[in-house]
Amino acid sequence: MGQVQRWIYPAGLLCSVILNVVFVVLYVQVNSKWKPDWSKSAAKEAEAVAAVTCSGHGRAYSDGLVIDGSPVCECNTCFGGPDCSQFSPHCVADVESGDPLFLEPFWMQHAASSAVVIMGWHRMSYSYSDRSTISQELDKLIRKLHALVGNANTTGRFIVFGAGSTQLLNAAVHALSPHNSSEPAKVVATIPYYPAYKSQTEFFDSVHFHFEGDASMYMNSSTSNTTSTFIEFVTTPNNPDGKLSKAVLRGPNVKAIYDRAYYWPHFTPIPAPADDDLMLFTISKLTGHAGSRFGWALVKEKDVFEAMTTYMSRNTEGVSRDSQLRALKLLKVVMEGSGREIFEFSSKTMNDRWDQLNKTLSVSKHFSLQEITPQHCTFFQQVRTPSPAYAWLKCERKEDKDCPAVIRESGIIGRNGTLYGSNSSYVRLSLIKTQDDFDIMLHHLNKLVSKEK
């Protein structure tokens, strides 16, 4: 016994002391790691919401409904139930809007780098420290982004921020309209055009500008034989048909607003940096954050820049500083890895969808799609096959004059061609919504086409 004790106790003590040392090291290590202080409860709350996965067919939000302490799932179209797992096979595919949710999975995969913590006293003032309503850090980052992607020349350009490009459309029209003329500026666009040009310009009915419809009505020198000012909206690539359009009017009284919302490698090859006098961009179609309402204008002329800045001030006192903070964070993620990550994700998604849609409709004689030719892209440094944001579907049969009704009968809601200044033999199908929306649309289209046989 005595002999055994002589060994057991010292050996046990030695082991125990070593264990103590190990625990001290572990404890110090764990305890010295950074732990959140005041941000903890907000972080915990957000992570709890993010942990609600909604079966991959929906998502919960921090500002959504909470029932019995649990955030409620908001399901994709055609999915339901508490966890969005119930699929309604006969449900209608709603591909009417340009909701850019195809990028949602990208941001879920980049949760850590894209999260923003806003402290309670963040930017309470009306102005930044330089007395403007524009974050200079964001201004700088936007210029870097355009240089990286090579889609716009920002040298010598002024930047105006807006609540999406929506607010900037009218700010630009307002700024380009003459304010000393008795005749209002004629606002025009080439058919098919984005419906907001008409609806917005008509809604903000002014003594200084008036929507006049189709730009081609004023071609053939009629713009130079008049004192009227013309303001031409040019969307490029075009919404709805994806064409790399250019202004059709020329003359000393003609001004163009280049809406370049879709001029990103997601949707089009980038042949060269755009260099127009007035260009509009928006994160809605770049990062997919339509809800944040953030866009910008690149403006060459100082007086136009100043007029647009006054518009922003009179209209809303600038853009929400919270949106500007978020845009800053999101654009930093966009620029990670020289932008390859997001643009490869997005262009692959859009290209896959276009290929599947094309394959489905290639056997159809009743329906056709717009043609888009592959082109060299300076960003990817290769020829890129089409990846447009929208399908501009045409019903080819004479009896199918109401194309939206024809596809509606087969369970697909698109947007009527008449809204684009065109006619109802056309319908726009959005390809940028969720994967569920796209899959259900394709399912219904396949059924529709198979009936032709």
Q: How far is the CB of 216 from a copy of itself (least distance, A)?
A: 25
Told to check if 181 binds a copy of itself by CB under 8 A, we report no
Contact 197, 346 (CB under 8 A): no
- Residue of 53, 55, 97, 358 interacting with a copy of itself (CB under 8 A): 97
Give the distance between the most distant pair of CA atoms in the chain: 120
* Closest distance to a copy of itself from the beta carbon of 405 (Å): 22
| Residues 121-150, interacting with a copy of itself (CB under 8 A) | 121-127, 129, 135-138
The DSSP 8-state label assigned to residue 197 in this structure reads: H
* 107 touches a copy of itself (CB under 8 A): yes
CA distance 143 to 56: 36
Task: Tell me which of 1, 68, 112, 225 binds a copy of itself, using CB under 8 A.
Answer: 112
| Minimum CB–partner distance for residue 24 and a copy of itself (Å) | 7
Smallest distance from the beta carbon of 173 to a copy of itself, in angstroms? 12
The token duo for 85 is 């797992």
The DSSP bridge pattern shows strands 74-75 and 58-59 to be antiparallel
Is the Cα torsion angle 86, 49, 430, 417 positive or negative in sign? positive
- Residue by residue, DSSP assigns 209-253 as EEEEEEGGGGTTTTTTSS---EEEEEESS-TTT---------STT
Q: Output Rg (C-alpha) for the chain, integer angstroms.
A: 28
Binding mask 325-364 for a copy of itself (x = CB under 8 A): xx-xxx--x-------------------------------
Kindly tell me which of 164 and 417 has the beta carbon lying closer to a copy of itself: 164
Q: What is the token pair recorded at 114? A: 């894209």
Question: For the stretch 168-189, what's the b/e string if a residue is b when 16 or more beta carbons lie within 10 angstroms of its beta carbon?
Answer: bbbbbbbbbbeeeeeebbbbbb
**Residue 111 in contact with a copy of itself, rule: CB under 8 A:** yes
CA distance linking residue 266 with residue 151, whole number of Å: 12
Of 341, 352, 369, whose CA–CA distance to 435 is shortest? 352
Q: Does 110 bind a copy of itself (CB under 8 A)?
A: yes
**Residues from 295 through 314 that contact a copy of itself (CB under 8 A):** 310-311, 314
Comparison of 268 and 284: residue with beta carbon closer to a copy of itself: 284
Which lies closer to a copy of itself via its Cβ, residue 22 or residue 405? 22
* Interstrand relation of 367-368 and 295-299 (parallel, antiparallel or unpaired): unpaired
In the list 78, 79, 93, 100, the residue contacting a copy of itself (rule: CB under 8 A) is 100
* Residue with smaller CB distance to a copy of itself, 65 or 272: 65
Count of residues for the chain?
453
93, 149, 152, 163: which one binds a copy of itself (CB under 8 A) = 163
In 249-389, at which residue ranges do the beta strands (DSSP E only) sit?
Answer: 254-259, 278-282, 295-299, 367-368, 375-377, 382-384
Q: Which of residues 185-204 bind a copy of itself (CB under 8 A)?
A: 196, 199-200, 203-204
Instruction: Using CB under 8 A, pick the residue from 217, 246, 271, 291 that binds a copy of itself.
Output: 291
Closest approach, Cβ 70 to a copy of itself, in A, equals 15
Lay out the site mask for a copy of itself across 16-45 (x = CB under 8 A, - = otherwise). Answer: xx-xx--xx-xx--xx-xxxxxxxxxxxxx
Q: How far is the CB of 196 from a copy of itself (least distance, A)?
A: 8
Q: Does 68 sit near a copy of itself (CB under 8 A)?
A: no
Q: Which one of 3, 67, 90, 120 is in contact with a copy of itself (CB under 8 A)? A: 120
